Structure formats: structure tokens, C-alpha cells
Amino acid sequence: MVKPTDPAFASLKPDLTVHDIAAPSTPRTPADEGKEFFLSERSEGEAPIRVYEFKLDADGGPSKEGSYIRLPPAYTPYILRVSLDAGTPASKNGVFKTNFPLDGGAFERDRFTERSLPTDLSKPIRVDLPISHAGAFVYWVEYDGDTSGERIKGREGYFNIDPILRVRARTSILSSDSKPLLPPQGGAELLSEIVNLPLDALSILTVVSKWMGPISQWKAHFQEASDRGYTMLHWTPLQERGESDSPYSIRDQKKYDLSGFDTAVDSETATTRMEEILRVAKEEYGLLNLTDVVLNHTANDSPWLAEHPEAGYSPSNSPHLSPALELDTAILEFSSSLAGKGLPIHVSCQKDIDTLMAAFADYLETKQLWQYYVLSTEAEKAAVTDALLSNTIIPWTGEDVAGRTVVELANIVRSARLIQGQGTLASRFVARVDGGVSAGFVKSAFPTLGNDVNALAQAWARVVDVLNVPLYAEWKEDTRVALDNIKNRLKYRRLDPNGPKLGEITINSTLVESYFTRVAPHYQSDPATYSLANNGWLWDADPLINFALPPSKAYLRREVIVWSDCVKLRYGSGPADNPWLWEHMTSYVTYSARTFDGFRIDNCHSTPLHVGTAMLDAARKMNPDLYVCAELFTGSEEMDLFFVRKLGVNSLIREAGNAWDVQEFSRIMHRFGLGKPIGSMDEACMTSMEELAPPFGKGPTRPCIVSPLNGSTPHALLYDLTHDNESYLDKRTAEHALAVAGIVTFGYCAVGSVKGFDDLYPKLLKLVEETRPYEITGLSENSGISRAKRVLNSLHREMVIGGYTEGCVWRDSNYIAMTRMHPVTQHAYVLVAHTAFEQRGKERGPSLGTSSHPSKFICGFAIDILSHEISEDPELLRGLSARLIELPEVPVEQKNLVSEPCCSFGPPEYFPPGSIMIFETQLERVDLELDQFCKSDAESAFGGLDLVDLNVVLHRADTEERDATDGEIGVYDVPGAGQLTYCGLEGWMHPLRHITRHNDLGASSFHMDGFPNLAAPVQWFLERFERVKNNAPAYLRPKFFAIIMTEAYKAARRALIEQCSEFISDGHDFTHSLAMCAVQMHGIVKSASLDPVKPTPSLAAGLPHFSAGWARCWGRDVFISLRGLFLTMGNFEGAKNHILAFASTLKHGLIPNLLDSGRNPRYNSRDSPWWMLQNIQDYVKMAPNGLSILSEICSAPVPYERQRININIYVDWDTGLVFGGNADNCGTWMDKMGESVRAGTKGVPGTPRDGAPIEITGLVKSTVRWLDELSRKGNFPFHGVFASVHGEEKFVTYGQWSDLIQKSFEKHYYVPLDPSEDSKYIIDPNVVNRRGIYKDVYGSGAGREWSDYQFRPNFPIAMTVAPECSTKTMHFTCCASPDTVLRGPLGMKTLDPSDRQYRPNYDNSNDSDDPSVAKGLNYHNGPEWGWPLGYFLRAYLYFDTRVGEGRDDAMWTLHRLHRALLKPRNHIRTDPWAGLPELTNENGAFCRDSCNSQAWSASTMLDFLEDVYKHAKS
């Protein structure tokens, strides 16, 4: 029996018990009730609200995999949370729209509720949607476009909510010792209690009512189905049947079939009694009721067709069918005249078919159907003549046609679309050209004919003859196809061994089926109106195209596989096109929805979508919890999904019978019936506890459990056999049925079967011809596999309701094993099936393992077919003569293998093909609290860690860890996955994020060690791993490992964020991820301390290349990164330590570019001191009591041997600009030195930038302006500098220096757009490459003057730190060019692509003889660097909101700039290094020589986001 669980688990399992199912006393809608729930106060013991979170793409639409979301039934209202990254395009005045009635009221498909998206770009964007009832709903986001007034509608997404199904509860099918119980023993006994039945728990049985006998006998069928464990009956249509007697050919949709009653009853009484018997099935036998709904057609003898012929397709309302009707009539006439023509009336061989088809082709020729295609030459001549004589000529105004050949003229007529009616086939000679038009055309084409009317008419006739050539060809091709299809159908119907082998050809049994129903009594008087097209289907047809509408010629070409007893219904585009039909069919579906619990949409793929949608909407208004299933034959999973999400189909019918071997059957079960794989991690790892704010703005805050959604696949209703498929005796073997039944019912999905499968009916029952009733066999000896099916169906229901969500599909040779396991108790059932796809001997199978748990045999069955001969009973429908054998107890042996214990059984003496065995397994020493224990106390374990501790816990690249452990420990090398990026938790989270979200358990071998010097986290890990080791089986250890690592990561990440500034803590996930980069880069590495004597934390320039030793800590990198990674974070102590460490190494106004712990600093950078001064300024302004740093005393440096580098720095006191460098060195950040001997570039700088680089000028200006401010306020003891100006010693105040730069900046750096303004600036027009920019350098050395004018991404630095340097308008103008010219996906191009030196792909291993790229000399001549992007965004934000498009509305600017964050945001989220790269190659391409995560790339992005944050606050 399904084991009861302890209270610890009870809280995890959904409560399916329904305590009160009485109808509400007020006419409130389900949406009203949901709203009231969230507005009401919390009740005592109320469970946390479930929140299902779904993330939209940047453009506001769902991803492809997320276009459809299936949500659970709203037993209790819950939340669908839609989230969107802040600043994405869709957040720009974004509005979320859905037709779910969020604010209460009734659902209307075209009525939409709106929710405005939050506008704060610094915080996450979330919209919480209260979900309260079932249905199919659409949503989208609408937002502002790039142009004023433009609104963009994002891609639509769909969410379908499962209905609530309720049935009577049952006792367990198994006894206390796990043996099946029959009904007299109390097994699966119906109880009075009502429970909710999840869709996966459905066991559906298809029945055909006309084979059940009169309605008075139906209770016996109900009892049989109930005893066999079914929970729902699928009824083929119960309405009055047409003359064919097919249930799917419904004569009157509003009347039940009266032949099912014992005595004559009227229609109203029949409805009452039918509703009563269906209520009995549900309430007394625990059987829900589902019916087919037929929307596409009606019976050919439906009486209302005579009154409403407009309901069908006829030549009257669909004129293109006219020739098809003539062809169909010709078949009827020909069929009735065979004997008189001496033609065969019986088909006995291929020769008869050939003879008949040759004769019919001749007969069809006499019908002259070509006239529907071509223009009438005589009529065209007459029309031209009339126009010429009456002077109603329309002059030709097209191209010159005089002197053209008739072929050329015909082509011009076609291209000018002068032919009216062509291709419509509406009537004979419907194709024509207006006489006035043709007269004007022919006069222009034949000017030499003057006004000769006859000559002109003859000339036009010659053109018409050419026009008709392809039209005759079209007719011939259509006729050929039609004749081929008629021939093939004739062969199938009368000669094919698999066909019906019909007899004599007569007027009543024509050559082939009739495509049209001739509605009596009006057909003879008005055949065009009362000849209605029959329905059918087409091979490989597009299901979205109605083959009865033009331009389809399916009826004319005889391509429809027609149902001659069904008239295709013509709905038009909406109710206005056919009011009576819409009202009639809407009434049909609404009364059906009132009576039944579910619909199966018959012929769903051919149902027009707008019809299906409208009908189901009407049905769901009557029954909001209507279950809808369908069988689709689209041949495309994408098209299947299209129908599912549009119609709100709850389950798609899948067929196990389609599997041709063990491998394919296993694939079907894995795809449709697996549930979740055993050991799934999503629920344990991806959920989080939060507080839910009231979704309506008022009401209480509630605790909630948040789970991410990935998108859904359509739910499966898996049939072992459907009512329209061949039996297993025909298709595989009769024995195979039992194996299929067992495998299917162990799927975690709805399952179905057809009455007769359990009884082993030998053949497919024909719905039209068959008249015998079912034999009721119950659970008797002659009931086929029914006693086994009872156990299987009951276990299926119990396992789903009991929460056995995890499964495993295993196959070997001819065996398939299915396991269903409870994720908490680890109790499981295992079914082993010996398949019988083909007839084989009854040999014993191999020994099989069942589980690593102790196992127990429950039961086993084999089927012995006593005779495969089909003995037709003329009175009853009966199955094959067979005997169900209950297998004896199978001993289970416990083995101890090297890896883990394993249970196995020796093969039973009798386990032939077509047998099944069921085992029960239970993990010993179940630790039901292990999940919770693994998640517990993480906050206290990690909450006390500081940011440096967190660097150890979260990160540490391989070289950092080896440095800390003297080379002993590096990153983990996971078998099958390779080396992790980090030793810390972030290293594990990259693979775990995918595994836990998608339950991809293909690779799950993990190892874990503690972290040194971190007592609390180490102890926390050890306690949990020890308990997992002692209590969890090997297959569950990956799950618990993932839980532990995920909880630790979340706790460590929270600990990090909580220590940060308000800007970080209140920020969105991108801000948080960048903050993680700050911790990623800042840690203790013994070989790279800030102090030469003791280990202290230091900042790495980038990982993995700049992580340890002399290469870790770079002066320039530190001070470009310090503001973002320290100051915006609130880590002022870390910032101060770096400032003081470098200040202690100051020599001759320089700081080292490479610190090397202060032991061997390298002074090869002339921009680093200015970056440091900028950071001291930032520190003073941002840190509490920041000014005090100016009073700090720096310790003396350790003696070292200084390097001598000539960088020749000086100030030009005419301009205030600082110059330096020469052609032989590169003292700015663009510091690549040539290394290639082969290319002759060794020692040659790639980008000298000697002179006054623009960013240094900006930094100098910022510094002296700030010092002047400090000095004036008395906060700085100095007022200026002593300088030699033109040979004279002078004192220059900071203010004077600032003014000099202010006056000279624009003149020396700006390159005007208009060359006429060149005289205002220092310009050499001969070397200007691009205008409207700032020069990169001023004063490059002799012979390199052109390099001043190179367009590079350095000027935004000056614009950011010294925005006052020139006019705002000019600054803004200069922002536009880099956005289009330099900005790449993840960074800024380091050189204008139009520059001759532009080489965008960096490859340091390239040692070619090309000096421009050899050994990576182009490092800064095109590759796209990450860190300048932040400065560009900051500059753009500053100036655009002051003088640009964002002046009146800053949100315009903010949204524009946030688009530049889309790629970096995605990169940091998905890259295993969880950072932003140093650089990329062209257009963001990966560069293998780049650091995967670079400090300054993340830092400047944080700088920008902080600017955005401050902008929002202001």
C-alpha cells in the first residue's frame, strides 16, 4: 500500500481533500473569491502562498521555451509572478496586460487587465498576478518604442491553469502486507469523502454507448469500470446519430440518442435521464465523465441543414466549389451508367480499375471543366467590340506596348493584373478582362490598326489565346491529380486487401465516396445552395488552413480523405458571418459543459482556432473547471503547442501503441511519463521563502514559497490503446497488451484505455458497422487482463495523489522497468515488464536489479493466450480466449556491491513475454528531516563573515587557492565536467544552476572539502555532509550536495549584500552580481599583499591571468576599479588600505603600475598617479569622514631597486596640459609593447600615446579643481604649485591651473563637424579621419601627428570626471559617435573601425610577420575593452539628461543606456566566471587571451549603476 507519511512530510504534500463542495451562495466569480482571499486576514495555520516566478526576455516577451506555462489547479489561490530585468526595453513605461480577470469579475477573452511596471531602474521589476481559477489566458507587455508616441507590443505568452477535478476517495488497493485486495476484501473501496484529483491521477476509459445496451444496463458497466480502477469515462458522443450510425456523425447536437432508452421517451425526458445516469456514474461509482465535442461537422442527414444550408460550404456561398461539385456529380452519373456502357461493375483486378478510369476520364472530358479556368475568346472579342463601338474605352497608361509580340503583351496583361476572376473557379468563363480596359490596351498595342474594330478584336483574341495557355495547363494538371486520387481511392475501396472491399458499383455505392451531400428536398431545385461539402482530412496539410476555402482546390483535386456521412460546417470569421450556426453550436457546447466534467475535442487540428477558442470560452463560463483534452495530428511539436496554448488544452493524447520497440517505448515514457527524475533538485534548491506583499496593495503580508518556472510542455494523456487504433494482436502481439498496460500506468501522467483492451478484443471495432454489445466480464476469469489492470490503475491513482513525483525508466533487451518514488520518504514502487513486440518463446529472462533499497515482491501477472484464433460471437463483443496468471512470490536477494548495496531477484520460473512484476522498495533509516537540516542555520554560519572571508568562501581561482595552500589545493576537477572556475561556492553554482533548474542529472559526481580558517562555515558543512553520508543513499547524495551548496551560496551572497551600501542592497540582480565581482577580486593572496611584511587583502586586476604574485595588483587597475568595487559598495576600509599602500610607494610623483607587494614595484605608468588622485577625491566625497585620509601618515616603503624609465613628464603652462612619454614607451593604459622578433616589433609600443592623452587631461582638471575647492575651504594646507613658466619661477594656484585647462581643452581637443570652423581650433585638416569628435591625444611626437586624431574610447573619461571642460552641447554631440561607432556588445572598440590601424581580433600567440598583429600588438587597436563602456554610459547619462533627448524626460536616456547593459547582464549571469571580461574580439566574440573576469570592467559598470541610483533618488 502507499505508505502514510509523517507530519514532517504532510506539510509538503498538497491537501487534496475537499471539505465542502457546496455551491457558493452568492453569484461571485472565482476571480472575485480569489481577490477576497488575498484581501482577507490570514487564517490560523494557513500554509505559505505558492509563488511561481516567470522571467521575461528583455523585449518583454517570453523565451521560446517559455511561451507556454502550465500552472497547477488553484485549490488555494496563488501568485504568478512575472519578472523583468530593470532597465530593459520592455520596462520603458511598460504595461503588463492579460485577459485573466486579476481584479475580479468574469473572464472575457477580449477584456484585459493592466498592471503598470515599476519605473525604478535600480530595483527588480516584478508583477504579482493572483491566480484563482482554471482556464487559458494570454499576456504581453506593451511599452514605449524609440520614437515619440510609438508603443511596442511584445510577444504574446500563454498560461493555462489546470482545472479542479473532484471524485470520491478510495481505500488502498494493497493490504497492510502489500498484497492486492479484490473488492470483497476492501481494496480500492469507494469512500464518502471527496478529494481533488490531479490530472496526472486520471485513469480514463473510452466507451461507445451504442455497444453498452440500453441506459438501464449502464450501471453494470460503471461497476466494471470502477472495479478496474478507472476514474473517468470518455464517452463518444451521446447525441442522436446520423444515418451512418457513427457516434461522430451527429444528427442533432441538442438531442441525446433516443435508441439508448428501454422505452420511448421525448427529448426533454431523455436529457433528464441522461444527466441523471451520468450523475450516478460520478457520485456512486467514482467516475467522472468526459465527452467528445464535435465542432467541425454534422451528420449528412441533420434535419436542420434543409433550413440552414448556409451552415455548410456550397457553391452558393463558396463559388470556388462549383467545378468540384460538377466533378462529384459526374462520378455519380458515371457510377449509375456502368452496366449500360459495358463497363465492369465489380472490381476484381487492376485491369478493371484501369478500364473504369479510362472510361471516366473520357466522360469527364465531356463536362468541359476547362471553362472554369480560361477566358472565353468569343466573349472577350465581343467585349472589346462593344467598348470600341460605344466609345467606353479606358486608355492604357502603363508601359509602352506598341510593337510588342502577343506573348509579351500577354505577360504585360498578367503583370498588370488586368484579368478579373482568374483562379476563382466561381463559374464558367469567370475569368475576364473589362472590355473598356482591353479596348484601350489593344489600341495602344496595335496603333497601325487605327480604329478597325474587327481587326482590333481579332488582335485581342490572339492575346487571349496566349493568356489561356497556362490556364489550360492548370486545368489539365488539376484534372490529372483528381483522376489519380480517384483511381487510388477506387483501388483502396474495392481491391486493396486492407480496404473495405466494397462490392458492386451503383448509384448508392459509387465509384468513390461522394464529396457533397445533396440536401433533400431542395437539392433538385437549387443544387448550388443545397449541395454541401462533406468533411474529411488531408495528408500533411497545414492545420491552420481551411481546405474548404480558396485558394485551396482540395475538393476539385479530390485530395480530401472524405467522411461522406459528415457535412463540414462553415463558421466564417465570426458569429456575424453565420449567426444561426454559432448560436446552435454554442448552445451545444454549453449544455455539454454543464453535464460533463471534460471535453475531448474531436478532430481538433482541423477545428478553426477562432471557433475552438470561442466554444471553449463559452463552455468554461458554464463549467470553469472543465477538463479539455485533444488528439492532434499536426506532425509538429511546435504546432501542437500552438493549439494547446491557444485553446487551453489541458492534455494531449499520446499513444503508447506507436512504440515499435523497447527503445522507442522507453523514450515515450521518459518524455511523457517520467515526472521528475529520481533525486530531482529543483524543488529543494530553486525554491525560496519570502514575504509576499499584498497583490492588491492592501491586505496582509503573507509568507510565500517562490519557485521559478522554465516554461512547460503539453501535459500528456497516455493511452495504451485508443478507440480508433488497431489492436495489439494486429499491430504487435496479444501478449504485449499486459506489458503495455503496466508500463503506461506507471507513468506520471494521465492514462487512458479503451473498453475492450482489458478484455483482449482481437480487432479494432468499427464505429459504423459494429452493432454487437459489450460483454460485461467484470473481474472474472475470462476478463482478460482486467484484474491486473485494477491493480495498475489503482496504484497509478494512489502514487500520484501520494506525491510519488520522481521516476526512472530503465530498459534492457526486451525489458522495461519503471520506478515511481516519493521524493521525501524514498518509498517506491518498481514495475518490471517483459515486452512482447513480436512473438518469442516463453524462456526465462535474466536476473534483474530493482533497487538499492530493500525490496519486496507485491504481485506479478502473465497472460496466457489460449488461442490466437478469432472466434466471432454473433451476439456479443468478446475478447480472446486467455488466462491471466498470477505469478508466485519472487524472492528478492540483498547484495553488497563495491559501490552500494543492491537488491536483485532471480528470474522467476515463469516470466514470459507480456508479463509484469511489481515490487515495493523502502529506504532504511529514512531521514525525513534531512532536507530541512541541510537548509538550516546557514544564515548564522555565514552571517558573521566579512568581505574578505567571503572571497574565500565564494571564489578563489586556481592560482589564488594554490598560493594560499602552498600549491597543494586548486580548483575541483569534476569527472565528466572538467575543472571548475573557482574553489569556492561560485565554482559549483555554475553547473548546479542548470542541473537544479532543469533536473538535468546526467553528470552528478561531486566532491567537497572544507575551507581553512573559517570555523563556522566549515563546521556547518561538515555536519551536513556527515549526516548526508550516513543517511542518504548514493543516488540521492547529489541532490543533498546541491541543497547544501545552494543554501550556502544563498546565505553567503546574502551576507555579502547585507554588508554593502544601500545602493547595492536595494539593487537588482545585476547590481548584486557586480557586487559579487568586488568580493571575487579582493582577497588575501600571500604572494601579492599590499604590505611587504605581512599578508593583507589586495585587489586582483583580473582572473585568471592577474590573480597572484607580481601580476596581481596593478596601480592603474586598482584606481580605475577602486570607486566601483570599494566605494560604491561601502567598503571604505578596503579602499583606504589600497590608497595608503600605493601612497607609501610614491616616488617622484609616480606610483608603481605593478606593486608586487611593495618589494619590487615597477614605475612604468604616467597615468596611474592621476587615477589615484581621482580616487582620493572620490574617497573624500563618498566615505564617512573621508577628508581625514588626507591627514594619514604613510609608512616608509621597503628599499628596492628602482627601474629607470624615461617618460619625460612636464606641464605646458600655456595650456595647463600635462605632456609626457615618447615613441619608445607606452605609459597609459594602452600599454602593449611589441614582442615579435619575426615581425620586427620587439620593444616597439603598439600605442605610445605620447603627448597629452585626453583622459589624463580630464583627470588633471578634476584634481586641480578639487584641490582648489579644498584649499578655498581651508581643508588643504596647499594652494598651488611652484613652476617654471617660460624660464621664470612662478607660483600657480590650483584655480589658475584649472582655468588654464578650462580655456585650452576645447581648442586643443575638439575636431569640429563643420570644416569651416577649423580656424577656432588647433587642427591639421590633412590628417583628420572623423569629425565631431574629441582627439585621443594632443601633441603626439613628430611624424606621428595623425595619432592625435584617432577616435578611441578615452574621451568619455574626461567628460565624466571633468564635465565642465567644454560646452555641454559639444560634449553631448561627441557622445553620439561612440554609441554607433565604438560601442560593442560587452565593451568599447579601442579604435575607430574606419582607421587604417584597426585590427579587432587579439591573438597573443600569433607570431606572423604582420607587424600590426604579431604577438598581439593590436591589443588596443580594435579589440573591445569592457571598462571604457562604464565611462561612456556615465558621460552619456550626464550630458543627455541636460542637453539631449533626456532633458525633459530622463527615463528616455536611462532606458536607452540600459539597452547597453543587456549583453553584460546576460554574460555575468551565464558565464562560469560570473564576471565581465577584460576584452572581447570583434563584435563581442570570445578572446581566449583575455581575462575572463576583470576588476575594472565590473567596477565602471557599478559606477554607472550608482549614477542611475542617485539620479532616481534625486
CB atoms within 10 A of CB 259: 11
Q: Which of 221, 297, 605, 822 is catalytic?
A: 605
Burial of 874 (C-beta count, 10 Å sphere; 0-12/13-18/19+): exposed
Angle at which helices 267-285 and 218-227 pack, to 10 degrees? 30
Q: Are 396 and 442 in contact (CB under 8 A)?
A: no
Task: Let me know how long the chain is.
Answer: 1514
Question: Which residues sit opposite 69 in a β-bridge?
Answer: 159
SS3 of 1228, please?
Answer: coil
- The H-or-E segment that residue 721 falls in is none
b/e map 445-463, b = 16+ CB within 10 Å? bbeebeeebeebbebbbbb
Cβ distance 277 to 215 under 8 Å?
yes
Residues 6+ apart with CB under 8 A from 1514: none
| 20 assigned to active site | no
Active site residue 110: no
The label of the residue with cell 437539392 reads 523
Q: What angle do CA 1066, 1068, 1071 make, to 5 degrees?
A: 90
**Cα 37 off chain centre by:** 31
CA-to-CA distance for 1188 and 1284, rounded, in angstroms? 32
602 counts as catalytic: yes
d(CA 63, CA 1427) in angstroms, rounded, equals 30
- The DSSP symbol for 221 reads H
Which residues share a beta bridge with 1252?
Answer: 1338
Are 1139 and 1195 contacting, i.e. CB atoms less than 8 angstroms apart? Answer: no
1284: cell is 617654471
Can you tell me the distance from the alpha carbon of 1354 to that of 1335, in angstroms, rounded to the nearest whole number?
Answer: 9
User: 3-state secondary structure string, 1245-1287?
Assistant: ECCCCCEEEHHHHHHHHHHHHHHHHHHHCCCCCCCEEEEEECC
Which residues, other chains included, contact 51 with Cβ-Cβ below 8 Å and sequence gap of 6+? Answer: 78, 79, 80, 81, 128, 690, 692, 704, 705, 706, 707
State how far the alpha carbon of 1206 is from the alpha carbons of 261, 1209, 1250, 1345, 1442, in Å. Answer: 110, 9, 12, 21, 42
Assigned C-alpha cell, 155? 510577444
- Return the closest-CA partner of residue 1461 out of 1490, 1438, 1436: 1436
Q: Is the Cβ–Cβ distance between 921 and 853 less than 8 Å?
A: yes
1238 close to 1407: Cβ distance less than 8 angstroms: yes
Calculate helix-pair angle for 1015-1031, 1037-1058, nearest 10 degrees: 160
Contact 1480, 1487 (CB under 8 A): yes
Three-class SS state of 1062 = helix
Place of cell 501477472: 861
Q: Which residues pair with 299 in a beta bridge?
A: 566
- Cβ proximity of 1341 and 1248 under 8 Å: yes
Q: Is 420 helix (H, G, I), strand (E, B) or coil?
A: strand
Q: What is the DSSP letter of 1114?
A: B
| 453-494 and 406-415 helices, crossing angle to 10° | 70
Asked if 1143 contacts 1195 with a C-beta cutoff of 8 angstroms, the reply is no
Q: 661, 724, 864, 1379: which is the annotated catalytic residue? A: 724
> In angstroms, rounded to a whole number, what is the distance separating the alpha carbons of residues 991 and 1088?
30
- The catalytic residue among 32, 162, 478, 602 is 602
Cα–Cα distance for residue pair 1158/1144, rounded to 1 Å: 9
Residue numbers annotated as active site = 602, 605, 724
